[in-house]
């Protein structure tokens, strides 16, 4: 196991270093910490209320994975409470629904003047923050695996959750100074929140991140943030209201990566202008033209994690993707989801065998690689 992890670390480091080794790291990520898309009957009722249950659920996934898939996954634990942890500490109500990830109910800022009523949260008492810290503490007490900080939505996503997408765009046009105040506020709150989690997890500020469970190697930063709304904002507005604040987050932790789902080709130059950004994690939803465009522009500058939830036609998807995917600077990750699948650029509700699906994906990807690898080690978990 130690040799396997060391080889994975080296391959991932080579990708971030843009070494032309002729192969790339590959991960078949059936160890998702989130529950949406998983088989509902397998999700514990107390997953979000018991750190012990969360640990047991994640550890079982890890054990199954390492016994059956020979890939570049490095085991870790993740205190997962949805994407609304920071907003929950700022007044947002979070809904918990059976078989689904926690979700924010709605915005809390109605007028731009409300921005100046915001106060810094107390991570020991406010919203879901204390539950996250208690889970980190429990994980460290009962496991030797590294513990990641919880989901980190970027400053823009936090701002949009607080006030709503339409409100933010209007305020940015009509009262830009207040919109900048909101972005400044969400940036500082996020930095403080990640710092205290890293302290609880025993991490240095410049290491310990796993963007969507993919190791961020030493020397390339200690943070990963999500910025899904970069897909719906203009490049001009993004450059003014997002790039400086994302840069501040990355610089606070010695660098890091940014995630988005969908297509954001119009933001490529803005990504390259973001100080401290070392990699992009893109759930491309089958947009392979975007991937090729990013590979051309990111060459020797940003690592690219090419990701997606499981396509409906596994063989056709990876055959088309790998036909033109360069290995240099690239990491490939597939995320099996038993209850939905990618088809025609959208996710559809489809039920499949969650035990067999990762093996099917591994069996397809391995022979298609430029240097074929045996990703399926055994069928012991089937």
Average of per-residue pLDDT across 30-55: 93
State the burial class of residue 180 (Cβ atoms within 10 Å of its Cβ: 0-12, 13-18, 19+): middle
Give residue 260's pLDDT: 98
Residue-wise pLDDT tens digits, 322-381: 999 999 999 999 999 999 999 999 999 999 999 899 999 999 999 999 889 989 875 433
Place of tokens 């032309």: 20
Residue-wise pLDDT tens digits, 200-244: 999 999 999 999 999 999 999 999 999 999 999 999 999 999 999
Q: What is 3-42 written as a DSSP string? A: HHHHHHHHHHHHHHTT---S---EEE----S--TTS-GGG
Q: Is the pLDDT of residue 265 over 50?
A: yes
* Rounded Cα distance, 213 and 62, in Å: 11
Structural domain of residue 270, as residue ranges?
A: 2-368
Highest mean pLDDT among 33-37, 147-151, 341-345: 147-151
Give residue 181's pLDDT: 97
Give residue 197's pLDDT: 98
Judge whether 354 lies within some domain. Answer: yes
Judge whether 374 lies within some domain. Answer: no
* Rounded Cα distance, 274 and 170, in Å: 24
Q: What is 265-333 written as a DSSP string? A: GGGHHHHHTSTTEEEEEEE-TT-HHHHHHHHHHHTTT-EEEEEEEPBSSHHHHHHHHHHS---TTEEEE
Closest to 300 (Cα-Cα) out of 278, 271, 275: 278
Count: domains in the chain: 1
* Residue 155 CB contacts under 8 Å (≥ 6 apart), including other chains: 183, 186, 187, 190, 242, 245, 246, 249
Does this model's pTM top 0.85? My answer is yes
With a pLDDT cut of 90, the percent of the chain lying above it is 92
Judge whether 380 lies within some domain. Answer: no
User: Residue 126 — pLDDT band, cuts 50, 70, 90?
Assistant: very high
Q: Is the pLDDT of residue 110 over 60?
A: yes
Average of per-residue pLDDT across 11-35: 95
Asked which of 23-27, 35-39, 314-318 is least confident by mean pLDDT, the reply is 35-39
Give residue 145's pLDDT: 97
Residue-wise pLDDT tens digits, 152-186: 999 999 999 999 999 999 999 999 999 999 999 99
Give residue 371's pLDDT: 87
Give residue 194's pLDDT: 98
Give residue 105's pLDDT: 94
Give residue 98's pLDDT: 86
Judge whether 379 lies within some domain. Answer: no
User: Residue 1 — pLDDT band, cuts 50, 70, 90?
Assistant: confident
Q: Is the pLDDT of residue 382 over 80?
A: no
* Rounded Cα distance, 264 and 271, in Å: 10
Judge whether 134 lies within some domain. Answer: yes
Judge whether 247 lies within some domain. Answer: yes
Q: Any idea what the CATH number is for the domain that residue 325 is in?
A: 3.20.20.210
Judge whether 375 lies within some domain. Answer: no
Residue-wise pLDDT tens digits, 274-296: 999 999 999 999 999 999 999 99
Give residue 213's pLDDT: 96
Judge whether 376 lies within some domain. Answer: no
Average pLDDT score over the chain = 95
């Amino acid at each position: 196991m130690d040799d396997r992890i060391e080889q994975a670390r080296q391959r991932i480091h080579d990708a971030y270093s843009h070494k032309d080794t002729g192969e790339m790291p590959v991960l078949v990520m059936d160890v998702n910490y989130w529950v949406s898309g998983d088989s509902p009957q397998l999700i514990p009722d107390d997953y979000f209320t018991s750190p012990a249950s969360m640990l047991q659920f994640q550890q079982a996934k890890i054990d199954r994975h390492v016994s059956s898939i020979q890939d570049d996954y490095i085991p870790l634990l993740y205190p997962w409470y949805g994407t609304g942890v920071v907003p929950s500490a700022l007044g947002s109500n979070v809904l918990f629904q059976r078989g689904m990830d926690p979700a924010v109910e709605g915005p809390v800022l109605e007028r731009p003047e409300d921005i100046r009523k915001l106060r810094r949260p107390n991570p020991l008492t406010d919203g879901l923050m204390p539950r996250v810290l208690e889970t980190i503490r429990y994980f460290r007490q009962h496991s030797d695996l590294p513990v990641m900080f919880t989901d980190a939505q970027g400053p823009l996503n936090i701002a949009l959750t607080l006030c709503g997408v339409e409100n933010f765009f209007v305020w940015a046009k009509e009262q830009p100074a207040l919109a900048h105040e909101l972005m400044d506020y969400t940036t500082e709150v996020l930095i403080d929140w990640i710092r205290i989690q890293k302290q609880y997890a025993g991490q240095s500020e410049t290491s310990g991140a796993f963007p969507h469970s993919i190791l961020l190697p030493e020397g390339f930063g200690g943070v990963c943030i999500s910025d899904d709304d970069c897909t719906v904002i203009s490049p001009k507005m993004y450059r003014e209201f997002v790039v400086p604040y994302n840069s501040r987050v990355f610089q606070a932790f010695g660098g890091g990566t940014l995630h988005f789902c969908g297509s954001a080709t119009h933001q490529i130059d803005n990504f390259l202008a973001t100080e401290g950004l070392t990699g992009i994690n893109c759930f491309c939803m089958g947009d392979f033209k975007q991937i090729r465009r990013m590979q051309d522009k990111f060459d020797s500058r940003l690592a690219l994690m090419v990701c997606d939830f499981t396509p409906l036609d596994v063989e056709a998807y990876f055959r088309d993707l790998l036909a033109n995917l360069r290995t240099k600077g690239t990491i490939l990750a597939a995320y099996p989801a038993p209850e939905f699948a990618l088809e025609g650029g959208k996710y559809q509700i489809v039920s499949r065998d969650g035990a067999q699906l990762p093996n099917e994906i591994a069996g397809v990807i391995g022979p298609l690689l430029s240097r074929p690898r045996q990703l399926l080690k055994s069928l012991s978990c089937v």
